[in-house]
């Protein structure tokens, strides 16, 4: 089944809630995008969580090359420093433009919560129509994991607490970039 | 802190002050309007009615077994390393949380938004015990700094302007701020609170769902503060009302479909977080979070056993009942609730914060049904508000004069009607010859002068009926007419017009003379015994007439009969089926004309008059009749011109307009402004109560616009044979 219409819906819905959506063909491209973005914003310290050691190492050498500091895990010691963070996500829910992340790892949580900008890698194959499509998977996680922190993230953090005027970027990330990864990109 | 009026006199003083707050009035009015206008778009492709009933069923199944669900939750959560507590009341919950803080050597506490913590006044308790507590939700932080309670369940600081927030933040930061720029104000909170997050030892959150079969919590948020509150500190305490317990994830996901849409008009909030067990936490001993969940009873278990009020436990705290309430939009949440505000607040206050705090506010309801229509869990809020009013009066053990009179007079039709006839004589000197009372008697205070009042008719409909020619050869339909007090005694001409009109379509009309008041005014005053007696009397009155329909020209009577009579049938030994047959026959005028008689344009002359329409609450929401009156206006050769907010209440609400004249006047004023802007020649509606309010308001403004019952304009448009 073609994922194209789902990916398009996912992108539209996410853009409607102020996320930035791009398509990437390789992990390396995604890392470059991430580092360029950080440099454009004048950031210096970046964080990555949820990657295997090979991926993490390749990002680290790219960072060195660009004179950016990839904060070493655990991130708790650098909580005040994270400018940009990159993480993979488990699923995308197309009908609301929502990312689903299993954030049981503290580093995944700190990276996605404390960064000014969060860059999320979403494999196109992991885009599903709606939350009901993964209800069984979520239920299994909640029932079988000894502890879990499942996050649905839809756009950057926001508030309308002052005069109901929408303002983006309160306590969570001020920008959310979703990089939709082609199937063989992993 | 929260100072809710404990009696009606001081309440009215507070209301007066609130009505003078121009920023509040404009802000909440815009909010109310924007919310209603955005709603259809927000719900596109979502079957609101079906899902809300589904959720209500789930909730109704969960409510009687809250303790069972609690035990199930507890076993799973404990297995996952969480300590579970059950607090019987607010004080115990606060003590438990303070003890957890002390046992873990906590100094700084950060909080994310929790109405349940507002309910228990948790901050006050923790501060008294010497802990530093910081609210981190932007709105909650603002009201904490101002030492106020929330004025809305979802947007706690909606009563404040950017300038008020700017002034406050200048004091906090000791810097000059450009209050015009809301983005910058928001960034102040980000900057000021980030270090507080990082140094806090304990985080306190609420929860939207407690899922029994996995022992996990679900939290629905936007700002990202809750995620930090539950992640950064080494201790996490969640304070959760027992009513948040659900059997499984499936039922939570159903609620998630409506909660953000109803609350903030979002398909989903920025963050929805599912937390189970003691998660990894590198600054805690053994790198595991010290996690506690405190479930709060505070009257919920008792409420869950109440046949009538258990329904209130369905509430998911979306705040929509305030968003659409015409009264909330005039006076704001600090004057429309205690801790919980809006329609649900008027109910829950009695159970969670006592009758003293509910005594005055619970009277402030128009019964316009707007809250009921938007409720995501199908709570019959206006009905429960009246039930709550009754419960408060019972607890107080004394009844206002209005109630004493109602219960003495209304069940005795002859006495009641005799008094109404006397009223005509009594007001003669005040009325001179016109249809309006020229001067209000001096015992009315000046705030009642916002509209002119009609005189009681010299000859009520029931007397005129005796001389009416109602003969019809080979009738197409036989209908019994239910007049209602306003038509019978104030506007008999509306009934005459209607009868003359339908005769043209060979409808035989009968008028059972022993019919009385429908009972709605008694129910509004929480005189349930009287309301029930009137229901039984009217049921009896219509038993001997063989009619196809029971026709009304009063939307309030029709809606009340249809919804309330079945509730009290069994007490009088009337079978469910018999009552169902009776109420099924009740039909409003417009539906009868359009759907039964199928009247067509040929019967009417064409005119060039433009007609604005006011939709009575009890017609458009009470009976869900919306298209027929507008169609009928067009069929009758008139031009219907839409005006803004047609389905918003006119502010009448029966005796509401006498009890709260200033609010009624505000709501009416806005309604009339909208109608006048439509450039219509006539304002038409189909409820005599609305006619009274609207015509009185137009008269007071010396406006040339006529206000008519739809039966009157139709009869004028009928072609002369």
Chain A window 38-77: which residues touch B at a Cβ cutoff of 8 Å?
74, 76
Which stretches of B465-621 are DSSP H helices?
A: 485, 492-503, 520-524, 528-541, 555-568, 576-585, 589-591, 617-620
Q: Which residue of B has its CA nearest to A105?
A: B280
Burial tier of B170 (Cβ tally within 10 Å: 0-12, 13-18, 19+): middle
Residue B440's pLDDT is 62
Look at the block and give the residue holding tokens 């000059």: B176
CB-CB contact of B687 with B556 (8 Å) = yes
Chain B positions touching A110 (Cβ under 8 A) are 231
Helices (DSSP H) in B542-660: which residue ranges?
A: 555-568, 576-585, 589-591, 617-620, 627-635, 656-659
Instruction: Look at residues B507, B623, B621 and name the one whose alpha carbon lies nearest to residue B561.
Output: B623
The DSSP element (H or E) to which B165 belongs, if any, is: helix B162-173
pLDDT attached to residue B607: 82
CA B606 to chain centre: 40
Q: What's the pLDDT score for residue B142?
A: 97
Mean pLDDT of A66-87: 96
Q: Which helix (H) or strand (E) holds B210?
A: strand B209-211
SS3 for B684?
strand
Mean pLDDT computed over B503-532 = 95
CB nearest B272 (choices: A113, A143, A152): A152
Dump pLDDT digits (tens) for A125-134: 999 999 999 9
Q: How confident is the model at residue B268 (pLDDT cuts 50, 70, 90)?
A: very high
Residue the block writes with tokens 């910058």: B184
Confidence band, pLDDT 50/70/90 cuts, at residue B406: confident
Domain range B66-147+193-301, its CATH number among 3.40.50.300, 3.30.499.10, 3.40.50.10420, 3.10.129.10: 3.40.50.10420
Specify the pLDDT at position B436.
Answer: 82
Longest Cα–Cα distance of chain A, Å, equals 48
Question: Residues B30-39: contacts with CB within 8 Å, 24+ apart?
Answer: B31/A164, B31/B158, B31/B323, B31/B329, B32/B323, B32/B324, B32/B325, B32/B326, B32/B328, B32/B329, B33/B645, B34/A164, B35/B265, B35/B320, B35/B323, B35/B324, B36/B324, B36/B645, B38/B265, B39/B265, B39/B374
Contact yes or no for A158 and B185 at CB 8 A = no
Does B281 sit within 8 Å of A148, measured CB to CB? no
Chain A residues with beta carbon closer than 8 angstroms to that of B145: none
Q: B13 CB contacts (<8 Å, ≥6 apart)?
A: B5
pLDDT at position B48 over 90: yes
Percentage above 90 pLDDT, chain B: 90
Is B81 in contact with A143 (Cβ distance < 8 A)?
Answer: no
Contacts of A143 in chain B (CB under 8 A): 213-214
Q: How far apart are CA B186 and CA B591, in angstroms?
A: 52
Give the integer Cα–Cα distance in Å for A63 and A69.
6
**Residue among B238, B231, B237 at smallest CA distance from B279:** B231
Question: Does A150 contact chain B (CB < 8 Å)?
Answer: yes
In chain B, what residues touch A171 (CB-CB under 8 Å)? 136, 189-190, 193-194, 197, 223-225, 227-228
The minimal CB distance from B182 to the residues A113, A148, A163 is found for A163
**Which residues pair with residue A118 across a beta bridge?**
A85, A176
8 A C-beta contact, residue B650 and residue B667 = yes
| Domain interval for residue A131 | 4-185
- Put simply, whether A146 touches B (Cβ < 8 Å) is yes
Report how far residue B107's alpha carbon sits from residue B201's, in angstroms, rounded to the nearest whole number: 7
- Token duo for residue B544: 């001997």
Contacting residues of A for B138, CB less than 8 Å apart = 159, 161-162, 170
Q: Tell me how close the Cα of A137 comes to any Cα of chain B, in angstroms.
A: 11
Residue B445 pLDDT more than 80? Answer: no
Interface of A with B in 167-186 (CB under 8 A): 167-173
Domains of chain B, residue spans: 10-39+321-390, 66-147+193-301, 601-717
Q: What is the CATH number of the domain that holds A131?
A: 3.40.50.10420
CA pair distance A179, A11, nearest whole angstrom: 10
- Whether the Cβ atoms of residue B377 and residue B26 lie closer than 8 Å to each other: no
Confidence of residue B205 (pLDDT cuts 50, 70, 90): very high
Could you tell me which chain B residue has the CA closest to the CA of A176? B270
The DSSP code sequence of B548-568 is: SEEEES-HHHHHHHHHHHHHH
Q: How many domains does chain A have?
A: 1
Upper half-sphere CA count for residue B463 (Cβ side, 13 Å):
10
User: Which ranges of B269-327 would DSSP assign to H, the alpha helix?
Assistant: 300-304, 320-323
> Rounded to the nearest 5 degrees, what angle is found at the Cα of A93, between the Cα atoms of B247 and A109?
75
A80/B198 CB distance under 8 A? yes
Other beta carbons less than 10 A from residue B61's beta carbon: 12
CB–CB contact A79 B216 (8 Å): no
User: Looking at beta carbons, which residues of chain B come within 8 Å of A100?
Assistant: none
Q: How far apart are CA A142 and CA B211, in angstroms?
A: 10
Contacts of A151 in chain B (CB under 8 A): 227, 271-274
| Count of CB atoms situated within 10 Å of the CB of B471 | 8
Relative orientation angle of helices B162-173 and B182-199, to the nearest 10 degrees: 40
Over residues B662-713, the pLDDT tens digits come to 999 999 999 999 999 999 999 999 999 999 999 999 999 999 999 999 999 9
Answer whether residue A47 shows pLDDT above 80: yes
What is the residue-wise DSSP string for A59-113? Answer: HHHHHHHTT-EEPPSPGGGGTTT--EEEEE-SEEETTTTEEEEE--SHHHHHHHH
Whole-angstrom Cα distance, residue B224 to residue A155?
A: 11
> Nearest CA to CA, how far is B664 from chain A (Å)?
26
What are residue A80's phi and psi, to 5 degrees? -80, -5
Q: What's the pLDDT score for residue B392?
A: 96
Q: What is the pLDDT of residue B297?
A: 98
pLDDT for the residue B438: 67
Coil vs helix vs strand at B107 = coil
Q: How many angstroms separate the CA of residue B185 from the nearest CA in chain A?
A: 9
> Could you give the ipTM of this predicted complex?
0.98
Please name the residues in contact with B551: beta carbons below 8 A apart, sequence gap of 6 or more.
Answer: B479, B480, B481, B482, B498, B502, B509, B587, B589, B592
Task: Give buried/exposed letters for B655-670 (b at 16+ CB in 10 A, else e).
Answer: ebbebbbbbbbbbbeb
Q: Which of A147, A169, A176 to mutate to test the interface with B (most CBs of B within 10 A)?
A: A147
C-alpha span between B392 and B354 (Å, rounded): 9
Nearest to A142 among B269, B271, B276 (CB): B276
Strands (E), B25-103: 82-87
A96 touches chain B (CB under 8 A): yes
Average pLDDT over residues B73-90: 98
CB B533 within 8 A of CB B523: no
Out of B182, B250, B276, the one facing A135 most closely (by C-beta) is: B250
Report CB contact under 8 Å: B80, A147. yes
CA B45 to chain CA centroid, Å, is 25
Contact at 8 Å (CB) between B310 and A180? no
For the record, the structure tokens of A73 come out as 């895990």
Do residues B136 and B228 touch, judged by C-beta distance below 8 A?
A: yes
| Structure tokens given for B45 | 């492709």
The verdict on a CB contact (< 8 Å) between A170 and B223 is yes
Q: Tell me whether the CATH fold assigned to B66-147+193-301 matches the one assigned to B601-717.
A: yes
Which among B80, B212, B274, B289 is the top mutation candidate for probing chain A, defined by the most A β-carbons within 10 Å of its own β-carbon? B274
In whole angstroms, give the CA distance from residue A52 to residue A28.
14
Residue B428 has pLDDT above 80, yes or no: no
Q: Is the pLDDT of residue B532 over 50?
A: yes
* Rg (alpha carbons) of chain B, rounded to whole number: 28
- A185 pLDDT exceeds 60? no
pLDDT tier, B608 (very low <50, low <70, confident <90, very high otherwise): confident
The pLDDT value recorded for residue B538 is 97
Query: Which among A110, A135, A169 has CB closest to B253?
Result: A135
Task: Please state the rounded mean pLDDT for residues B389-412.
Answer: 89
pLDDT, mean of residues A136-148: 97
In Å, how far is A118's CA from the nearest CA of chain B?
13
Sheet containing strand B108-111, strands side by side: B82-87, B290-296, B235-241, B202-205, B108-111, B132-135
Question: Using one digit for the tens of pLDDT, what is the confidence trace for A79-98?
Answer: 889 999 999 999 999 999 99
The mean predicted confidence, pLDDT, of chain A is 95
Query: Are A73 and A109 spatial neighbours (Cβ–Cβ below 8 Å)?
Result: no
Rounded distance between C-alpha atoms, residue B671 and residue B668, angstroms: 5
pLDDT for A186: 46
Residue of A nearest to B76 (CA): A143
Q: Which among B186, B249, B282 is the nearest to A170, CB-wise?
A: B186
Closest to B503 (Cα-Cα) out of B551, B463, B540, B461: B551
CATH architecture of B601-717: 3-Layer(aba) Sandwich (3.40)
Mean pLDDT, rounded, for B520-545? 95
Q: A65 CA to chain B: closest CA distance, Å?
A: 31
pLDDT mean across residues, chain B:
95
Q: Count A/B contacts: CB-CB distance under 8 Å.
A: 178
Q: Are B192 and B110 in contact (CB under 8 A)?
A: no
**Rounded CA gap, B710 and B632, in Å?**
9
% chain B with pLDDT above 70: 98
- State whether B231 and A17 contact (CB < 8 Å): no
Determine whether B440 is exposed, middle or buried from the number of CB atoms within 10 Å of its CB (0-12, 13-18, 19+): middle
What is the CA angle A123-A128-A134, rounded to 5? 110
Question: Which one, of B574, B526, B238, B110, lies nearest residue A149 by Cα?
Answer: B238
């Amino acid at each position: 089944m073609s994922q194209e219409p789902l990916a398009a819906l996912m992108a539209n819905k996410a853009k409607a809630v102020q996320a930035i959506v791009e398509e990437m063909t390789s992990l390396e491209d995604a890392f470059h995008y991430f580092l360029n973005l950080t440099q454009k914003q004048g950031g210096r310290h970046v964080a990555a969580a949820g990657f295997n050691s090979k991926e993490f190492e390749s990002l680290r050498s790219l960072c060195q090359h660009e004179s950016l500091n990839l904060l070493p895990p655990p991130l708790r010691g650098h909580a005040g420093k994270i400018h940009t963070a990159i993480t993979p996500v488990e699923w995308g829910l197309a009908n609301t433009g929502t990312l689903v992340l299993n954030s049981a790892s503290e580093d995944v949580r700190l990276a996605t919560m404390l960064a000014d900008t969060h860059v999320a890698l979403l494999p196109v194959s992991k885009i599903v129509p709606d939350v009901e499509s993964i209800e069984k998977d979520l239920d299994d996680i909640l029932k079988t994991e000894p502890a879990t922190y499942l996050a649905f993230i839809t756009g950057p953090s926001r508030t309308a607490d002052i005069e109901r005027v929408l303002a983006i970027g309160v306590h969570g990330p001020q920008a959310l970039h979703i990089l939709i990864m082609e199937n063989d990109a992993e | 802190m929260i100072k809710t009026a404990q009696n009606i006199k001081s309440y009215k003083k507070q209301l007066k002050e609130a009505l003078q707050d121009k920023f509040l009035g404009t802000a909440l009015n815009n909010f109310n309007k924007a919310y209603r206008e955005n709603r259809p778009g927000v719900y596109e492709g979502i079957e609101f009615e079906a899902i809300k009933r589904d959720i209500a069923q789930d909730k109704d199944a969960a409510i009687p077994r809250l303790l069972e669900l609690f035990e199930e939750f507890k076993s799973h959560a404990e297995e996952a390393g969480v300590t579970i507590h059950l607090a019987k009341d607010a004080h115990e919950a606060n003590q438990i949380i303070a003890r957890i803080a002390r046992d873990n050597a906590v100094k700084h506490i950060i909080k994310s938004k929790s109405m349940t913590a507002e309910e228990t006044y948790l901050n006050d308790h923790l501060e008294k015990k010497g802990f530093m507590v910081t609210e981190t939700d932007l709105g909650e932080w603002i009201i904490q700094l101002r030492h106020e309670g929330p004025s809305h369940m979802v947007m706690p600081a909606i009563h404040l302007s950017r300038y008020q927030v700017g002034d406050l933040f200048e004091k906090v930061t000791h810097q000059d701020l450009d209050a015009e720029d809301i983005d910058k104000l928001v960034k102040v909170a980000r900057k000021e609170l980030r270090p507080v997050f990082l140094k806090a030892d304990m985080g306190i959150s609420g929860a939207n769902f407690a899922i029994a079969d996995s022992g996990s919590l679900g939290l629905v948020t936007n700002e990202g503060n809750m995620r930090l509150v539950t992640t950064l500190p080494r201790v996490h305490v969640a304070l959760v009302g027992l009513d948040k317990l659900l059997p499984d994830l499936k039922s939570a996901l159903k609620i998630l479909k409506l909660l953000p849409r109803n609350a903030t008009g979002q398909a989903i909030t920025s963050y929805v977080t599912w937390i189970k067990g003691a998660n990894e936490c590198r600054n805690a001993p053994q790198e595991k979070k010290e996690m506690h969940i405190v479930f709060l009873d505070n009257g919920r278990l008792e409420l869950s056993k109440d046949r009538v009020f258990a329904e209130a436990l369905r509430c998911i705290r979306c705040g929509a009942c305030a968003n659409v309430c015409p009264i909330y939009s005039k006076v704001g949440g600090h004057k429309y609730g205690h801790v919980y505000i809006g329609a649900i607040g008027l109910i829950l206050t009695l159970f969670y914060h006592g009758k003293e705090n509910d005594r005055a506010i619970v009277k402030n309801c128009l019964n316009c049904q707007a809250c009921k229509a938007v409720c995501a869990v199908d709570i019959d809020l206006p009905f429960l508000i009246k039930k709550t009013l009754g419960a408060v009066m019972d607890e107080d053990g004394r009844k206002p004069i209005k109630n004493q009179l109602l219960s003495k007079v209304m069940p005795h039709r002859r006495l009641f009607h005799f008094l109404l006839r006397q009223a005509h004589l009594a007001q003669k000197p005040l009325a001179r010859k016109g249809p309006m009372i020229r001067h209000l008697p001096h015992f009315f205070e000046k705030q009642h002068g916002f509209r002119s009042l009609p005189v009681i008719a010299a000859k009520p409909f029931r007397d005129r009926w005796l001389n009416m020619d109602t003969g019809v050869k080979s009738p197409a339909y036989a209908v019994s007419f239910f007049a209602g007090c306003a038509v019978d005694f104030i506007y008999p001409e509306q009934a005459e017009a209607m009868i003359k009109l339908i005769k043209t379509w060979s409808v035989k009309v009968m008028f059972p003379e022993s019919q009385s008041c429908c009972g709605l005014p008694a129910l509004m005053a929480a005189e349930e015994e009287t309301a029930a007696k009137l229901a039984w009397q009217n049921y009896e009155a219509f038993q001997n007439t063989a009619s196809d329909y029971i026709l009304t020209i009063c939307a309030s009577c029709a809606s009340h009969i249809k919804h309330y009579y079945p509730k009290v049938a069994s007490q009088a030994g009337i079978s469910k089926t018999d009552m169902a047959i009776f109420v099924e026959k009740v039909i409003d005028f417009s539906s009868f004309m359009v759907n039964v008689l199928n009247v067509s344009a040929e019967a009417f002359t064409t005119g060039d008059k433009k007609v604005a329409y006011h939709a009575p609450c009890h017609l458009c929401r009470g009976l869900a009749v919306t298209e027929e009156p507008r169609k009928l206006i067009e069929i009758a050769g008139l031009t219907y011109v839409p005006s803004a907010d047609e389905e918003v209440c006119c502010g009448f609400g029966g005796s509401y307009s006498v009890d709260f004249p200033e609010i009624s006047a505000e709501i009416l004023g806005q309604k009339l402004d909208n109608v006048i802007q439509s450039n219509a020649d006539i304002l038409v509606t189909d409820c005599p109560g609305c006619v009274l309010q609207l015509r009185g308001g137009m008269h007071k403004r010396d406006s040339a616009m006529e206000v008519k019952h739809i039966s009157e304009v139709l009869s004028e448009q009928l072609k002369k044979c």
